[in-house]
Amino acid sequence: MMYWRELTVNWGESDPFGLVYYPRMLSWFNDTEHELFRAIGYPIDVMIKNDRTTFVMGEVHFRFVGPVAYGDRVLSIIKLDKIGRSTLHWKTRCINAQSGATICEGLGTRVYAHIKEDGSLDSAQIPQEMRDALENFEAFKHLEAIPFKDAFAL
């Protein structure tokens, strides 16, 4: 399962030499993942409000590969590599939408959790309906693939 979105590099997301600030790499991944959940019918804010569940970040690894500048268009791509009992394991890559050059890439693990009354978290099993939506994602016809085939080889 793979998902992507296009974004524009805002002022201050990279330095004058094109190095992307680490928090921006994480934010691009996070926002893309949240958009995916909204697209398949599981908006994170609604999960928190209605079910008192969410996905929390368990582990992340990102690395800068190549430059990007203010105003550049970027494709933020995520690929679901593995679904565990309560975890989602992602691969991610951001590429320059014009050249196809890789900007950054990484790995992320999310943990599905129930929010307890005191605000603490307990990991929980990912519901089967959510698993089905993630595993049958290609059935969502409104989310077509883009022609950068090499960029999708995560």
DSSP collapsed to 3 states, 39-87: HCCCCHHHHHHHHCEEEEEEEEEEEECCCCCCCCEEEEEEEEEEECCCE
User: Domains (ranges, CATH) in the chain?
Assistant: 2-152 (3.10.129.10)
CA-based end-to-end distance of the chain: 11
CA dist 138 and 134 (Å) reads 9
- The confidence score (pLDDT) of residue 1 equals 82
Output the furthest CA–CA distance in the chain (Å, rounded): 49
- The confidence score (pLDDT) of residue 152 equals 60
pLDDT in tens, the chain (154 residues): 889 999 999 999 999 899 999 899 999 999 999 999 999 999 999 999 999 999 999 999 999 999 999 999 999 999 999 999 999 999 999 999 999 999 999 999 999 999 999 999 999 999 999 999 998 876 554 445 545 566 666 6
- The confidence score (pLDDT) of residue 147 equals 53
pLDDT tens column, 129-144: 999 999 887 655 444 5
- The confidence score (pLDDT) of residue 130 equals 96
Let me know how long the chain is.
Answer: 154
| 7 neighbors 76 (Cβ within 8 angstroms) | yes
- The confidence score (pLDDT) of residue 142 equals 45
Question: Smallest Cα–Cα separation from 107: which of 13, 5, 33?
Answer: 33
